[in-house]
Structure formats: C-alpha cells, structure tokens
Amino acid sequence: DPRASTALEVVAGGRLFNVVVQDEVTSAALLERGRLRKRVTIIPLDKIVTNPVPDAHLDAARRTLGGPNAGSRISTALSLVGFDDEVKAAVEYVFGTAFICEDAEAARHCAFNAPNPRRTVTLDGDVFDPRGTITGGARKKGSGVLDMLAALHAAQAAAAEAAEAFGAASREFDEWRKTRAASADARRAAKVAAHEAERLRARIVASADGRMKAEVEALAERLAEAEAGVASATERAAEAAAAVKELCAAIAEAKKNHAGIVKAAQAAVKDARAAHKAAVEQVKTLNANAEKRAEEVARLQVDATDVDESQLASLQAAANEAQAALEEATVTAEDAKVALATAQEQVASEQSALAKARETVEAAQEQVSSCELAVKEAQARRDEASSKLKGAKVRVEALLEANPWIPTEEGKFGAAFTGKKEKGQSADAFYVQRLKAFDGGLGVAKVQQRLETLRKAQAKAGSTLNKKALEMHRSVKEEFHALKGKRDTIENDREKIEAVLSELDEKKKEALEATWLKVNVDLGAIFGALLPGASASLDKPLGAKCIDDGLEIKVRFGGMVKALSELSGGQRSLVALSLVLAMLVFKPCPFYVLDEIDAALDLHNTKNIGQVIRSKFKGQAQFIVVSLKQGMFSNANCIFRVRFVDGISQVSRSENLAVTGGQKRAAIEAAEGDENAKVSKNKARSKRTRA
C-alpha cells in the first residue's frame, strides 16, 4: 500500500540502509576487502535474531480497540512489506516489531492500552512508544526513500510498457515496409509482363504466314514421329505376345520339371511386365500426341481463315493428311490396346499357374521339413537310448565288480532270465534284459519309490526350497577360498612391510644417534668459541628413552647450568646461531645466505662469529653475509659495499687484504715447502746414484 510508505520508513529508521549478506564470513570479507567509504551496518542472515509480533498480540489489540473497522485500522508493519523467503530474517529484524495504525487514536491504544503494548506508527509518521514518548509533527519536505522507490518501480514499469509498445510499432512498420516492397515488385512485374505480351502480340501480327508454315511443317514431323511410335508399339506388342507364348510354354514345361524352370519363369514374367509397362507408356504417349495434333489442326483451321485461298487449300490438304494419319494412329493404338489386353490376360493366367506351382513347391518343402524333423527326432531318441544303454552297461559292470557272487547266482534273479546270452540275441538286448533282472532281484524298485517320495517332498516344499543352494554354496565356497588366499597374501605382505619399517626405524635411530653426537660436539665447540668459558649441549630430557622423545639445549657458565628462559636476548641468539652452524658443519651446502644475524650482538660477538665461520667452514662452503658491523667485515674475503649516490645505488667491490694476504702467504709457503721437499728428494736420489 503506497499510503504506508511513510510509516514503514519511520518504523525502519536507520535500519532501512543496512546491508544484508548471506553469512558472517561474507560480512567479515566485505568489511575487510569491500573498500567501504563510510560506516555501514551489515545483517548476516545466519546470525540475526528476530522477534516479530505474534498474531495473538495483533488479535488482542484489535479486539480491545473495538469498533466496526478495528481489523483494518491496526496492522503489523511486516504484513505491509513484500519480500522473498531468503531475506525473511532481515525483513523481520527491520519491520517485525511494530504496529502501523490509520489514526492516532488506534496508535495510542496499541502503544499504551493494549494487553501487549508495542511501538506504533501512524500513516502520517507519528510514533507512539510504550515507554511514554510520542514523536510527530512536521516532516521534511520531499518524498521519502520508499516513495521514491515506488515511483522508480512505476517509472520502470512504464518504461517497459513503452519499450514493448515501441517494439510492436517497429514490427508493424517492418511488416508494412515489406508489404510495400512486395507491392512495388508486383507492379514492376505486371508492367514487364504487359510489355512482353504486347511485344509478342506485335510479333504474331507481323509474321502470321511464316509462323503458320513452320507450324504445319512441325505438325508433319510430329505425325511422322507418331507413325513411327505406333509401329514401334505394334512391334513391342508382338514381342509381348511372343513372350507370353514362350511363358506359357515355360509354365507347361515347369509342370514337368518345376525345380529347374521356376527361376526362368520368374524372369520371363518380369520381362513381360516390363514390356507391358513400356507398351502402356507408349500408348499413353501416342494418345497425348494424337490429342495435341488434333488441337493443332483445329487451331490451324481457325488461323487459316485469314489466309488466301491458295494457302487455305494447301493447309486444308495438310490438315486432311494429318487427320488421316491421326485416325490411322488411333486405329493402330486401339490394336495395340487389344494386343496388350490379350497379353495381360495371358500374363495373369501364367501368374496363377506360377502361384499354383509355388504352392506345390512350398507343400513339398513342408513335407521335406517334416521328414527332416522326424529324422532328427528319431536320431535324438536313438542317441538318448544309446546313452541310457551305455549307462546301463556301466551300471552292470559296477554291480558285477562290487558283487562277485552275481555271475554264479545270476540265473536265479528272474524267472525269464537264465543269465546266458541266447542265440541270435544282440549284446545291447542282453544287457537290457540283465539290467531288468538286476532291478527285480536287487530292490531297484524300492530305490525308485524312494526317489519318487523325495521328489514329492521337494514339490511340496515349493518356494521355500532354494534349488540353487548347492550352486550358491559352491560359488560362495570358491569366493571364500579366493578371499582367504588374498588375505594370506596381504598378511604376508604386511609382515614384510612391518619388517622393512622396523629396519628403517633402526637405521633412522642409528642415523639420529650419529647426527646427535656429531652436532652435539660441534655445538659445544662453536658456542665455546663465541662465548669463551661457556659451553652448550643437546641432552635428552629427564625420563626420555630415545631421541624421538626430543632434545633440549643446556647452557653452562662456569659449571652452572641455565635454562634458555634465564638467558639474555644476545645469549639466546648465540645459542641459536651455534646450533644452526653446528648442523651446517654436519652436512654443508655449497653456499649460505645470512641476513644481519649479528643485529642483536655487540662488536666482540660479531667478530667471534666471523672467526667461527672463517675457521669452521674453510674450504667447505661459501657464506654470503649481509652485515653492518666491522667485526664481520674483518673476517670476510671480499666485501661488496652498496651506497646511495645522487639517487642511484652504487656497488663497489674490495678484497680484505688481511685475510686474502694471509691466505696467499700460506699458499706460497706451502708451495715453497713442496719445492724444498722435491729438491731434498732429488739430492737424496743423486747421492744414492753415486753410491
């Protein structure tokens, strides 16, 4: 409702300009990196706590106000605001705690006399607070923010409607322009057609005689072509009749020898159909040509009225000849039609005969198929009987092997079986008779009865009996054995891996022990060089069993052990630097870069560090040290100085002669010593030679 915009703006107050974000992470990021130019209040939707007016409080306020329009005079501010569900918490936080009333009387009742007093605002913007204050009076001129927003929405809607209307007008204009262009094209085409018709009419009037002669000659040529076409059609009809006769003969021969002539008959029928189709097309063409000739003759007769008598006579003679040729072509076409109908009848009869022959062949094929099926069934029964007979033989042999007394008592098994093979009896028949005697004498009938009982029990069990249980058990058993084998393999691999890990742990402990011992010795030496009279060491903590439990640094000054927390800042720096240098001595690198490691040290300690670096790492590594103290410069081989001159950085290089000179002298002395040793060796060799 636009009337409530002023009241809603008063209810929101400063919260109307709060920024709504998804969560507190987004709000923190917005404050840190949002480049906000003024202070803002951010409402994170996942953390904001709301307390909207319950419906029961609204009903109670309306009920206690009374009157016929009490329901419309009091509303919650939240009910007058439209919003999406995703920002519901923020809207409830801003508008959810106040009433909006139409007049001051209802607002005063809701703020002071209702069962649940609430902050209330009238449509004019007057505020009634339950704490006892009333705010109102004249407001600043001009529209509020919500009024301007409503006006903006209305303007945007009007702009959208105008844009849509403009689009519709543009489309109508485009359609009109296309229609206009099409109309212009049609007018131009009509003018061109009229001009062409006029030009053709003039040509016809100018050359009527020549055109008529040319048309008569063309008509004569067309009549000759028609006659040739009729002759060709007659020949084709004769060929079709001959083909039909040949087909009849082939069909008659097919009755005698169907299997060999069926394909030839089919080919002949196909050729006859093609000839028939060609004849029909030729007849249609001749009829069309004849009709065209008749039309041309009629037209020539009409046009001939304007020609002189001599031309009329010649044209009449040509027309008569054309009419005669047309009648002759018509007669020939009728004869061709009769021949074609006869050929069609013969083809139909031949097709019916061919169909009967096909039916005979299909019946014969069905008989052959049924015979083949009967043969296959007989072969299957024979194979089944043969397999049963082989099984019976194996069974008899097994019984004879398991019961040695059977051959002696075999004659007593059955009344009709003597146990001996009769004359002319086949071996298979003898085994069958023998098996029947065994069944009667050894209780096979009881076994069959037991089998039938078990089958009935199985059928009675029905769906509760899982017939695939054995197969499932077999597959599960195979899977179990496969998994068991995999488990054994994994356990073996695990034992090997654990053995390797144990071996690696032992090697690691040995390496750590060796490293600890070496670094501990170097740590004590370096720290003693930096602080004469003091020493440092890496020791295991109290209760530790191995190095994995950790190491701690112990510093001794004249026999007194101190913890790191008791040392000064410079002493801690020296301890840390000593530990780093001790580890570098254990495993040196080609070069090191140290940046102002002497910043917290005095000149004496700085000089000691330089001497340690020069003595401990001589010939092992190079050090690039950034320093501002002379104690470090005096121990360097080469010094690079950086100065800022006239706004430009300048780098100068100089050698420390005190160090490089001593090194050169030592190198020269070593070389001279080697030369003297070589000379003495040569003298001794010459003495031995003279001796």
Q: Per-residue confidence at 689, pLDDT binned at 50, 70, 90?
A: very low
pLDDT at 678 over 60: no
Q: Are 633 and 627 in contact (CB under 8 A)?
A: yes
CB contact set of 219 (below 8 Å; sequence gap of 6+): 293, 296, 297, 300, 318, 322
How far apart (Å, rounded) are the C-alpha atoms in residues 295 and 311? 20
pLDDT at 307 over 50: no
pLDDT of 493:
93
Q: How many CB atoms lie within 10 A of CB 612?
A: 20
How far apart (Å, rounded) are the C-alpha atoms in residues 117 and 131? 9
Name the least confident of 157-161, 252-256, 270-274.
252-256
Name the least confident of 69-78, 205-214, 406-415, 475-484.
205-214
pLDDT of 298:
55
What's at 393, amino acid-wise?
K
How far apart (Å, rounded) are the C-alpha atoms in residues 313 and 321? 12
Tokens for 659?
């160090």
DSSP E strand stretches across 138-217: none
Angle between helices 208-256 and 145-206 (to 10 degrees): 100
Q: Are 654 and 678 in contact (CB under 8 A)?
A: no
Tokens for 224?
């000759």
pLDDT of 204:
56
Q: How many CB atoms lie within 10 A of CB 614?
A: 15
Q: Per-residue confidence at 261, pLDDT binned at 50, 70, 90?
A: very low
pLDDT at 308 over 50: no
- Run of H or E including 538: strand 534-539
pLDDT of 484:
92
Query: Is 165 exposed, middle or buried, given 0-12, 13-18 or 19+ CB atoms closer than 10 A?
Result: exposed
Query: What is the DSSP annotation of 507-550?
Result: HHHHHHHHHHHHHHHHHHHHHHHHSTTEEEEEEPPTT--SGGG-
Q: How many CB atoms lie within 10 A of CB 636?
A: 20
Tokens for 408?
């002696």
- The whole-number average pLDDT for the span 302-306 is 49
Pinpoint the alpha helices (H) of 443-468: 444-461
pLDDT of 687:
44
More confident residue, 440 or 96: 96
| CA angle, 198 then 202 then 204, to 5° | 115
- Beta 127-128 vs 134-135: how paired, if at all? antiparallel
Q: Are 21 and 44 in contact (CB under 8 A)?
A: yes
In the chain, what's the furthest Cα-to-Cα distance? 168
- The whole-number average pLDDT for the span 2-31 is 81
Q: Per-residue confidence at 324, pLDDT binned at 50, 70, 90?
A: low
Q: Are 535 and 528 in contact (CB under 8 A)?
A: yes
Q: How many CB atoms lie within 10 A of CB 350?
A: 21
Return the top range by mean pLDDT from 50-64, 291-305, 382-396: 50-64
CA-based nearest residue to 612, from 567, 660, 579 = 579
pLDDT of 496:
94
CA-based nearest residue to 83, from 93, 72, 98 = 93
- Run of H or E including 554: strand 552-557
In a 3-state reduction of DSSP, which class is residue 124?
coil
Q: Per-residue confidence at 247, pLDDT binned at 50, 70, 90?
A: low
Return the top range by mean pLDDT from 248-262, 385-399, 434-448: 385-399
How far apart (Å, rounded) are the C-alpha atoms in residues 73 and 101? 5
pLDDT digits (tens, 9 = 90+) for 510-565: 898 899 899 989 888 888 888 888 889 888 888 777 788 888 888 888 778 888 88
CA distances from 471 to 328, 458, 468 (A): 92, 17, 5
How would you label 365-388 residue by residue, b for 16+ Cβ within 10 Å and e otherwise?
A: eeeeeeeeeeeeeeeeeeeeeeee
Q: Per-residue confidence at 275, pLDDT binned at 50, 70, 90?
A: low
CA distances from 640 to 393, 632, 643, 653, 663 (A): 111, 12, 10, 5, 19
In a 3-state reduction of DSSP, which class is residue 415?
coil
User: In Å, how far from its chain's centre is CA 562?
Assistant: 67
Tokens for 549?
């439990």
pLDDT at 629 over 70: yes
Q: Which residue reads 């049963």 in tokens?
A: 388
pLDDT digits (tens, 9 = 90+) for 482-507: 999 999 999 999 999 999 999 998 99
pLDDT of 679:
45
Name the least confident of 27-41, 123-137, 279-293, 576-590.
279-293
Name the least confident of 335-349, 472-486, 608-622.
335-349
Q: Per-residue confidence at 99, pLDDT binned at 50, 70, 90?
A: confident
pLDDT of 483:
93
CA-based nearest residue to 614, from 629, 598, 635 = 635
Mean pLDDT, the chain, whole residue set = 73
pLDDT at 198 over 80: no
Name the least confident of 302-311, 380-389, 462-471.
302-311
Instruction: Report the percentage of the chain scoring pLDDT > 90.
Output: 4
How far apart (Å, rounded) are the C-alpha atoms in residues 82 and 2? 12
Tokens for 183?
């109309």
Q: Give the CA count within 13 Å in the CB-facing half-sphere of 634.
A: 12
CA distances from 368 to 154, 363, 373, 378, 382 (A): 92, 9, 9, 15, 21
Q: Which residue reads 């003679």 in tokens?
A: 317
pLDDT at 423 over 70: no
How would you label 575-593 residue by residue, b for 16+ Cβ within 10 Å and e otherwise?
A: bebbbebbebbeeeeeebe
- The whole-number average pLDDT for the span 117-145 is 79
What's at 450, amino acid-wise?
R
User: In Å, how far from its chain's centre is CA 301?
Assistant: 81
- Run of H or E including 27: helix 24-33
- Beta 134-135 vs 534-539: how paired, if at all? unpaired
